[in-house]
Amino acid sequence: MIRTILAVSVAGIAGTLLRFATSTWVSANWPRHFYVATLAVNLVGCLIIGLLYGLFLTRPEVPIEIRAGLIVGFVGGLTTFSSFSLDTLRLLESGQAPIAFGYLAISVFGGLLATWAGLSLTKL
């Protein structure tokens, strides 16, 4: 278990630093388009988590430390949107479309509402 925790931690640092570097670079080069950094890491993270998940389905011998380090640590540090996307696709693949679309709607609109609420609380 300690090895898995270390793998997730180290890879999480790498993913977080990549997100930070992307944000810094975009802000320096396209300050009016700050959102491009978030969009980019979310889309790249989704691509990476899909690739890793597919690879690990065909390679069960890959150790849990590597799996968790890359998916939970690196991609999770880079973006959590990728996990959300994978969860939604897995629900759809398992025939749970109503739950998938509910999850999608609640995540997007609930996330926006929660962000607005948090911001509003800072203005009290």
Binding residue ranges for Na(+): 76, 79
Annotated binding site: 76, 79
How far apart CA 82 and CA 74 sit, in angstroms, is: 11
Closest CA to 68 of 13, 17, 8, 12: 8
Indicate if the alpha-carbon torsion angle 22, 28, 30, 31 is positive or negative: positive
